[in-house]
Structure 1
């Protein structure tokens, strides 16, 4: 093939110049937008750092100076916080009796050191209840970048890569753009020039698509800024995107790396960090800990992602799927509860360019045929999985709420095990990898790494070391530091006379479930229900949304009758997935105050309820994970308000006895499945099955009501 003529080379260079100009234009506009964000961020960060310093006692200065600083004179003079010392002039401090030049210098140096740390590591909290001018300016600056959407990151990387490549190639290629330059170009230089022309032609092969990508991103960045009201409304709707962007720009200080990486061994963590993550088929930016989680699943291939509720496990799974499909995988399968199936399909379609096929309902056979023919992500339920024969075409299996297959003898567990045997890459997702027995966790590990299961020791520390290659967990408190506060309030309400009569009858007849809901047996005289109405009325005054959880349908029916016809739900186990999502959407989109009712075993799984900032739990649950899952549906990434959790309880009743045992179960979970280094203990020491729990409580309550001794455990 003949080399291009001088005219063809000049035409190629003109096209490259236009493409390079587009790239430089996007880089410049992005740089301006980032500079605006950082400029707006500084006063917000400074204000929040000063508030933090104002809460730090002056005694903390000793920690910085090794304990040798004498602070008595400062404290006696009213300098009680680090901020007060920081703001004082040298003259003001040194004129105090007992404060010499050395003490003054040490105190202020220590205060400045703490102040620097506060500014560098402090997390920016955006409070929707405090819409001041400084924070508004920050949101307006962020809005342009958020509104540009997930394609901005890809466009920016494309622009940077283009600029670097063209900057290196164009000077060499110019020597072939004029006939006289060709004559003066030596052999080696001519070969380099021909190679540069060839590389430029390759870059221009998708010129139209690339220019469109760059032009759209640049246009998005040039949109006029929103007004203050629009900026705050958009933040409430997309707060996770705003915080993700702050993290991506390194505007927020880096989190504790060890916590963000699940406290994995150093050698494993380093291998995970080195893993490249292809985002060409992904349409969402990741937090640092989310990118690490996706890389962990790619490197280790068969893993349990056990992140606490609300940390974006679905996003991480989609990032893994997008990476694999960008690198050649054609088919993947997601297995989930029916209640989360619609959400999975929505998230795949919104967060990636992958096709999602719903293998459920009347059209599942057509969807299965389309998936097998076209490739993409099939989504099915646990009950539907046994209808699918394991296929070698499937490159990855994702199992959501994997604790559903903790019992190896169940049909759905056997179906999942069969697929695990045939698929090389498997991702189990669960925020509750064990509930009552550590053996359940061992079962999950056994599906993925059969050789690892026998090595799992009983002691907590040994257990966590053994499962590190297969298990990654991060907690909200470690990685989502911008989340607003979570306030737990135990609402203790004495039985009314009617409640007490119903409770005594349930105890005498040994009906455990009747004991648990006796406080609602006579709704018009229920003390708990009266308190629930008060809490809902308070939320209505402030325009806050409320979600009410109970294990029992009849309790929710009583709540519905008490609150009137304006409530949403209830969400129950037999509600069709489509209807369930419709109820949640209506609740979320309702203006101002609204109330959603949900069975805790149904509403606590697979739903995003961050529109709610008040959570009411009608009675304690047998499994602590039921409550934590339910709360995490509201207190999760995207929540912009402080979440208040009100648990309705009755003293001297089944409630009080259950709480004691729930605490023991929570300790078991923390010991084995969280990262905290608690004392080692054997799982059998505090394992209590549901049946034995009920029997124990009934006996204790019968003895108490009969006037005999009630021995607690």
Structure 2
């Protein structure tokens, strides 16, 4: 029968895909094991040979090894059995026990090893792993769906075809017992029903299998692809390494974490693989329904939100709304389109009315700005599957129009997801305001004693509504960040301008005085040296300053060779275009940006050198700016250079800001130990300016106060 022959072919296609995928994964796993052993062996160079006694419960006598000069476990692993047996008192059995104990330590170290794929220092095993992962990445986002379909077909078709075997021949059916004939006919009917909707599945299996069967990429091709889309490689690597779902559960109690882990997450409409911590974040938003995800910059909060929207779409919801600052609206539209099958409608600009009508009619994700949300009109008839508010700390003041608009939408929407990397940058009371939009009951229950007791007690109290993870907790593969304070002295001309600004009590003029005379500016000279060094190494640079005048001076000094600047008056579409041009530039390039413009919503991981022209009043502003480069997708070590002038406003600011930063870390970043009140976290710009001006006037002006 033709149906049975078609079923044979379909089963063969499914098994071929499963077998080829298993083969590629096995090759990748082998390369991963080899790389882990390399990392482990390097680490064992510092592990003393005495640790062998811990593994064997003290049964091994290692004094002979130590006397023979074996100081580390690595040296034992590198020695041959013959070399060990040649030592006095060590026979073949003891040598075997020593080697077994050393290998046990090596295995434990390999399992715990943090892997970093360094694009600038590719070795043999790292390259082998990247080439293997490349075959899985190029199979595309349809690979998980194809594997699920293939597994389902293999599980269902194999027994059905076995039951239908007598039906392949009329003669065989004649000599088959009645009960067996009946089962064969029933199996044929089930196979026919299964084949009715299998055309698209067969095409999917064929396409994905063909992708997997491509010859391995050449080394440089695989590394180039890795550099362009490293998050996909690291997601596969985490899956291959067995990253558990609960990775990055933050400070959630175990019972809540278990509830989140049990929450289903449908990937039918998702076109991106998730890291374990990202899947956990998406599940958290679905399980708790009204939450804040406060993951640190660069961990992919938008992907977690899109994963939740895709799940809800598969569950039958049709309309969703994302609200964000205007600067990131285009980025959201692009992310939704590339990470899911959902359609995004930007409700902004002259096409807003048409996009609104189309969204209302067809469903999908409407993307509106925070300041334009109140102009959406009466949409009470629309039942939102979820409301997502990005950069939610912008609505921490309940008196603003944008906050009132968000609060109104929260009031009529069942599921609400707030995203913010810095929810507690100032007063804990403002964070309580964010919670009040989502869970007024919980906000009312928060006690001042929770704050006074420290960060851990406070985070435990808000656990039902708040999840935060940090880079060092969940992105072990992220390249290191090297920070350097570049101290310089005022030139004579710049100091004269600075002294005049101090006398006038002009805080902003004091902050930019080091660039007043570009021809002699020591800061500008050091900046150019850093840029030239980056150019010699083919590295991309992003230069941040609060002041447009400073960026103009830098741009002029670079003779127009810089992209940008990104500033508040540059439309969101143009900002993204500038970032795209900077990222696409071959080799070295420089991007200029105001810290308040480039620090929000833009992905700058093409840059591995960050230069900050002056310290910022808010530590979080600098953290956000640096986080745009040092984030998921970064494949190079990030160098952060802060340009600072000795005996100046810079030095005075840092003393105050470091104290503020420590408090912020305690409450919002690390959630370790904090002994201070949340109210002490606020150092306003006005207070900071007054303190610095008074200090500098006392220091520089005779009789100054």
Q: Report the TM-score when normalising by structure 1.
A: 0.92
Other structure's SS at 1:490 match: strand
Give me the whole-angstrom Cα distance separating, in 1, the residues matched to 2:408 and 2:59.
65
Aligned partner of 1:41 among 16, 25, 32: 32
Q: Could you tell me which residue of structure 1 aligns to residue 699 of structure 2? A: 704
Aligned partner of 1:437 among 427, 431, 434: 427
Give me the whole-angstrom Cα distance separating, in 1, the residues matched to 2:43 and 2:11.
46
Give me the whole-angstrom Cα distance separating, in 1, the residues matched to 2:9 and 2:238.
33
Aligned partner of 1:22 among 10, 13, 17: 13
Other structure's SS at 2:375 match: coil
Aligned partner of 2:243 among 254, 266, 271: 254
Give me the whole-angstrom Cα distance separating, in 1, the residues matched to 2:681 and 2:316.
48
Q: Would the alpha carbon gap of residues 118 and 708 (structure 1) be closer, same or farther in structure 2, given more than 3 Å must change?
A: farther
Q: Could you tell me which residue of structure 2 aligns to residue 575 of structure 1? A: 570
Q: Could you tell me which residue of structure 2 aligns to residue 148 of structure 1? A: 139
Tell me, yes or no, if structure 1 residue 161 matches structure 2 residue 152.
yes
Point out where structure 1 has 5 or more consecutive residues left out of the alignment: 1-9
Q: Could you tell me which residue of structure 2 aligns to residue 635 of structure 1? A: 630
Tell me, yes or no, if structure 1 residue 688 matches structure 2 residue 683.
yes
Give me the whole-angstrom Cα distance separating, in 2, the residues matched to 1:510 and 1:584.
37
1:33 Cα deviation after fit: 1.5
Q: Would the alpha carbon gap of residues 239 and 467 (structure 1) be closer, same or farther in structure 2, given more than 3 Å must change?
A: same
1:71 Cα deviation after fit: 8.0
1:117 Cα deviation after fit: 1.4
Q: Could you tell me which residue of structure 2 aligns to residue 229 of structure 1? A: 220
Q: Would the alpha carbon gap of residues 543 and 464 (structure 1) be closer, same or farther in structure 2, given more than 3 Å must change?
A: same
Q: Would the alpha carbon gap of residues 152 and 629 (structure 1) be closer, same or farther in structure 2, given more than 3 Å must change?
A: same
Q: Could you tell me which residue of structure 2 aligns to residue 472 of structure 1? A: 467
Q: Could you tell me which residue of structure 2 aligns to residue 348 of structure 1? A: 336
Give me the whole-angstrom Cα distance separating, in 2, the residues matched to 1:191 and 1:600.
75
Q: Could you tell me which residue of structure 1 aligns to residue 416 of structure 2? A: 426
Tell me, yes or no, if structure 1 residue 626 matches structure 2 residue 614.
no
Q: How does 1:202-213 map to 2 (within 5 A)?
A: 202-213=193-204
Q: Would the alpha carbon gap of residues 700 and 163 (structure 1) be closer, same or farther in structure 2, given more than 3 Å must change?
A: same
Contact 1:176–1:182 under 8 Å retained in 2: no
Aligned partner of 1:603 among 598, 610, 621: 598
Give me the whole-angstrom Cα distance separating, in 2, the residues matched to 1:512 and 1:76.
67
Tell me, yes or no, if structure 1 residue 132 matches structure 2 residue 132.
no
Tell me, yes or no, if structure 1 residue 540 matches structure 2 residue 531.
no
Q: How does 1:79-94 map to 2 (within 5 A)?
A: 79-88=70-79
1:154 Cα deviation after fit: 0.8
Tell me, yes or no, if structure 1 residue 554 matches structure 2 residue 549.
yes
Other structure's SS at 1:360 match: coil
Tell me, yes or no, if structure 1 residue 379 matches structure 2 residue 367.
yes
Q: Could you tell me which residue of structure 2 aligns to residue 484 of structure 1? A: 479
Q: Could you tell me which residue of structure 2 aligns to residue 529 of structure 1? A: 524
1:538 Cα deviation after fit: 0.4
Q: Would the alpha carbon gap of residues 693 and 421 (structure 1) be closer, same or farther in structure 2, given more than 3 Å must change?
A: same
1:104 Cα deviation after fit: 8.7
Q: Deviations over 1:614-661 (max 9, x none)?
A: 000011111111111111111111111100000111222221222122
Give me the whole-angstrom Cα distance separating, in 2, the residues matched to 1:107 and 1:670.
45
1:506 Cα deviation after fit: 1.2
Contact 2:247–2:280 under 8 Å retained in 1: no
Aligned partner of 1:411 among 384, 401, 405: 401
Aligned partner of 1:325 among 313, 321, 346: 313
Contact 2:323–2:390 under 8 Å retained in 1: yes
Q: Would the alpha carbon gap of residues 62 and 604 (structure 1) be closer, same or farther in structure 2, given more than 3 Å must change?
A: farther
Give me the whole-angstrom Cα distance separating, in 2, the residues matched to 1:436 and 1:42.
45
Q: Which moved more, 1:598-607 or 1:44-53?
A: 44-53
Q: Would the alpha carbon gap of residues 267 and 390 (structure 1) be closer, same or farther in structure 2, given more than 3 Å must change?
A: farther
Point out where structure 2 has 5 or more consecutive residues left out of the alignment: none
Contact 2:425–2:668 under 8 Å retained in 1: no
Q: Could you tell me which residue of structure 2 aligns to residue 272 of structure 1? A: 260
1:462 Cα deviation after fit: 2.1
Q: Kindly tell me the number of residue pairs found equivalent between the two proteins.
A: 697
Q: Deviations over 1:141-178 (max 9, x none)?
A: 22211111111111011101110011233333445666
Contact 1:436–1:665 under 8 Å retained in 2: no
Q: Could you tell me which residue of structure 2 aligns to residue 302 of structure 1? A: 290
Q: Could you tell me which residue of structure 2 aligns to residue 401 of structure 1? A: 391
Aligned partner of 1:448 among 438, 449, 467: 438
Q: Would the alpha carbon gap of residues 167 and 103 (structure 1) be closer, same or farther in structure 2, given more than 3 Å must change?
A: closer
Q: Would the alpha carbon gap of residues 288 and 708 (structure 1) be closer, same or farther in structure 2, given more than 3 Å must change?
A: farther
Q: Deviations over 1:518-544 (max 9, x none)?
A: 111111111111110110010011110
Other structure's SS at 2:477 match: coil
Q: Deviations over 1:75-128 (max 9, x none)?
A: 676544431243345776688899999999997666433311121121332221
Contact 1:546–1:613 under 8 Å retained in 2: yes
1:60 Cα deviation after fit: 6.1
Q: Would the alpha carbon gap of residues 67 and 602 (structure 1) be closer, same or farther in structure 2, given more than 3 Å must change?
A: farther
Tell me, yes or no, if structure 1 residue 499 matches structure 2 residue 494.
yes
1:695 Cα deviation after fit: 1.2
Give me the whole-angstrom Cα distance separating, in 1, the residues matched to 2:41 and 2:229.
28
1:13 Cα deviation after fit: 2.5
Q: Which moved more, 1:517-526 or 1:73-82?
A: 73-82
Give me the whole-angstrom Cα distance separating, in 1, the residues matched to 2:354 and 2:280.
36
Other structure's SS at 1:170 match: helix
Q: Would the alpha carbon gap of residues 98 and 159 (structure 1) be closer, same or farther in structure 2, given more than 3 Å must change?
A: closer
Q: Could you tell me which residue of structure 2 aligns to residue 336 of structure 1? A: 324
Give me the whole-angstrom Cα distance separating, in 1, the residues matched to 2:619 and 2:323.
25
Q: How does 1:98-109 map to 2 (within 5 A)?
A: none
Tell me, yes or no, if structure 1 residue 661 matches structure 2 residue 656.
yes
Q: Report the TM-score when normalising by structure 2.
A: 0.93
Q: Would the alpha carbon gap of residues 327 and 699 (structure 1) be closer, same or farther in structure 2, given more than 3 Å must change?
A: same
Q: Would the alpha carbon gap of residues 469 and 168 (structure 1) be closer, same or farther in structure 2, given more than 3 Å must change?
A: farther
